Structure 1
Amino acid sequence: MPAAPLPLRKRAGYFVSNLLFRGLIGAGLLLPYHWRVPAMGWVVSRVLAPLAGWRARVRTNLAHVMPDLPEEEVRRICRAAPDNAGRTLIEIYSGDSFKARAVNAPITGPGLAALEEARKTGRPVILVTGHFGNYDAVRASLIARGHNMGALYRAMRNPYFNAHYVRAISAIGEPMFLQGPTGMKQLVKHLRAGGVLGILTDLNNLSGEALDFFGKPAMTSMITAELALKYDAALIPVYAVRQDNGLDFEIIAQAPITPTDAKTMTQDVNHQLEALVRENIGQWFWIHRRWKSK
């Protein structure tokens, strides 16, 4: 069934906000890469985040899961999380300059050997990741290494922004599978052919299960584990950790999740992501409403 047309007022709001973002991105792209990435991080952290209420949301999330965190550390994370989000945004639009950084990123961890073994045997692989560091660095790196890697993505609410955003992420590598019935059919065909699939798993999902994340129940989709079990795919958590210079990455491929049942496997993913976030706490997307309940 086609989506209902947007009300005029909402459509106008989306149009104006998209113009602002397009202008910001366009201005950033005029700068050399090593200036534009920190500059966009600064603008998002120091200008947009306070205006959009993102700092308040970061504070709310931190108070929910880590109420004893010192105030100085809370303030640091309130700056660092939007800064990483701004850097990630402009990197996605930076084309070959970003891909060159991703391709040069070292890949460490036991999951790399499992990934290469799966390629030799033709076994499908699901790389489960999250809004941490820059998740598209993983995709760019593995595509450059010859892996047949696709990704599942969710359309943005703003249709004007979504149009150029999809072009930008598609330029990093294809295939891309839009969340929905058609995308799921394409995704399954890709897995059955022994492909590699990337899925972000740390968004709030009210149709998922209430699993532990930072000691609190968080509604979590189990689609990654369910697909892995159904199609005998290796389920490997993989993350791109931003390095101290703010421009480069280390890609960490964690050990494959042991096949058991979908709930246990997904909880293992949550625990491993939490441990990584605690080590690099400013690189996770504390801006979103991860702990919304039904």
Structure 2
Amino acid sequence: MNFIIYIIVYPIIWLISKMPFPLFYFMSDVFYFLLYRVVGYRKKTVRENIRLTMPELSEAELKKVEKESFRHLCDIFLEMVKTFTISEAELKKRFTFTNLDTVLEVEKQGKSVMLFCAHYANWEWIIILDKFIKFQGYAVYKKINNPYFDALIKRIRSRFDTVLVEMKETIRVIRQNEINQNHGVYAFISDQSPMVSQANCWQNFMGIEVPVYTGGEALCKKFDMVPMYLNVEYVKRGHYKTTFVPLLKEGEQLKDIPNYEITQRFLVEVEKQIRKAPAYYFWTHKRWKHRGNKPVNIK
């Protein structure tokens, strides 16, 4: 059955990826109409998340963010598909870096980079980074149950030389690389909600106390990496601007930073982006399904 689903869907994915951009985004608008207006996919979850984290918004403002976020959700989904066939030159034009020298300087120091990422704007297109750096880029991902689609996703995301590492293999891969002095840039999506039974840390995120993943910080400290936040900014449809934000202040040593402080700094950076332009966050995730204290106002 997995293979049958794959051979049915594969040609559709390929055809969509080959569409010229005007037609491509027209298709996204069609998907938006179906997803938001007809199906109502996770509309309740999105509305509850926005209302919970930004209670200062009026109903009209909330509805506006909700609709824009669904439009962007459809764009992101199709842009993931577009990665299947997009050229290197086209992707470089659409996903730019403002301070690439920040990563290049770390290369000179002979250290690896732990890149904390969030579900904001288009995090998927960071795979083009490998065309600008000497280090090897690694993306940590969760394996898909359908083995055929899992292989397809790995092939798409590795088109520009990024190496995908399954979550359970992360420590082994990093350890072996560091032993061999093969430094790299490791991208972790770090804003999901872990299972409460597995959470060892709760942090304030968007005014709500929630369980957080701390694996990225733990690995960063264990292997003495340089922690950075991947700030991806929406410029216009299909175009993004990226800035690498160091999570260590000048003169700070990683070994002197209290546990979970790096994770908190990451969350602060994500929150700043969300509050500035909330429509480009992935609100469909049930990020606040586990909550500690009641919402608090952030000035």
Bin of the TM-score, shorter chain as denominator length: 0.7 to 0.9
Matched, 1:31 2:19: yes
Q: Which aligned pairs between 1:221-260 and structure 2 lie closer than 5 A?
A: 221-244=213-236, 246-258=237-249, 259=254, 260=257
- Over 3 Å counting, the alpha-carbon distance change for 1:113 and 1:139 in structure 2 is same
> Residue 174 of structure 2 aligns to which amino acid in structure 1?
L
Task: Give 2:86's aligned amino acid.
Answer: S
Q: Which residue of 2 aligns with 1:293?
A: 290
Instruction: Give me the TM-score of the superposition, normalised by structure 2.
Output: 0.81
Would you say the 8 A contact 1:125–1:191 is kept in 2? no
Residue 265, structure 1, aligned to residue 265, structure 2: no
Letter paired with 1:204:
S
The structural deviation recorded for 1:52 is 5.5
Q: Is the 8 A contact 1:277 1:283 kept in 2?
A: yes
Find the counterpart in structure 2 of residue 188 from structure 1.
175
| Structure 2 letter corresponding to 1:62 | I
Residue in 1 that maps onto 2:294: none
- Are 2:210 and 1:218 equivalent residues in the alignment? yes
Q: Distance in 2 between matches of 1:287 and 1:20?
A: 27
- Give the corresponding residue for 1:107: 97
Match of 2:118 in 1: 130
Distance 2:283 2:7 in 1: 25
1:190 offset after TM fit, Å? 3.3
Query: Letter of the aligned partner of 2:269 in structure 1?
Result: Q
The partner residue of 2:194 within 200, 205, 210 is 205
Could you tell me the percent identity over the aligned residues?
19
- 1:201 maps to amino acid: S
- For 1:177, the aligned partner's letter is V
50, 55, 63: which is aligned to 1:75? 63
Counterpart of 1:132, as a letter, is: Y
Q: How far apart, CA to CA, are the structure 2 residues paired with 1:176 and 1:234?
A: 20
Counterpart amino acid of 1:93? V
Aligned length: 276
When residues 107 and 29 of structure 1 are mapped into structure 2, their CA distance, relative to the original with a 3 A threshold, is closer
The aligned amino acid for 1:119 is E
- C-alpha distance 177-187 of structure 1, shift in aligned 2 (>3 A): farther
Counterpart AA for 1:221: Y
The answer (yes or no) to whether the contact 2:16–2:81 under 8 Å persists in 1 is: no
Cα deviation, residue 191, structure 1: 4.8
CA contact (8 A) 1:101 1:249 kept: no
Kindly state the Cα deviation for residue 261 of structure 1 after the two structures are TM-superposed: 2.7
Task: Please list the CA deviations of residues 117-174 of structure 1 after superposition, one character each: whole Å capped at 9, or x if unmatched.
Answer: 110121111111111111122231x211034211101123555543422322222432
- 1:287/1:122 Cα in 2 relative to 1: closer, same or farther (>3 Å)? same
One-letter amino acid matched to 1:125: V
What CA distance in whole angstroms lies between the structure 1 residues aligned with 2:35 and 2:9? 11
Partner-residue secondary structure (3-state), 2:230: strand
Quick one: distance in 1 between partners of 2:215 and 2:22?
37
Gaps of 5+ in 2: 292-299
Residue 4 of structure 1 corresponds to none
Give the superposition deviation at 1:24.
5.5
**Cα offsets for 1:71-105 (capped at 9, x unmatched):** 22222222222322222222223245264344234
CA distance, structure 2, for counterparts of residue 172 and residue 46 of structure 1: 33
Q: 1:282 corresponds to which residue?
A: 279
Q: Distance in 1 between matches of 2:12 and 2:210?
A: 33
Residue type of the alignment partner of 1:100: A
1:155 and 2:146 are equivalent in the alignment: no
Conserved 8 A contact 1:44-1:85: no
User: Does the C-alpha gap of structure 1 residues 81 and 190 become closer, same or farther in structure 2, counting only changes over 3 Å?
Assistant: farther
What CA distance in whole angstroms lies between the structure 2 residues aligned with 1:42 and 1:194?
42
State how far apart, in whole Å, the 2-side matches of 1:79 and 1:160 are. Answer: 33
Q: State whether residues 45 and 80 of structure 1, in contact with CA within 8 Å, keep that contact through their aligned partners in structure 2.
A: no
- Does structure 2 conserve the Cα–Cα contact (< 8 Å) formed by 1:81 and 1:287? no
Partners of 1:40 and 1:86 within 8 A in 2 = no
Is the Cα contact below 8 Å between 2:102 and 2:244 reproduced in 1? no
Gap change, CA 1:52 and 1:179, over 3 Å in 2: farther
Counterpart-to-counterpart distance in 2, 1:45 and 1:250: 24
Change (3 A) 1:233 1:67: same
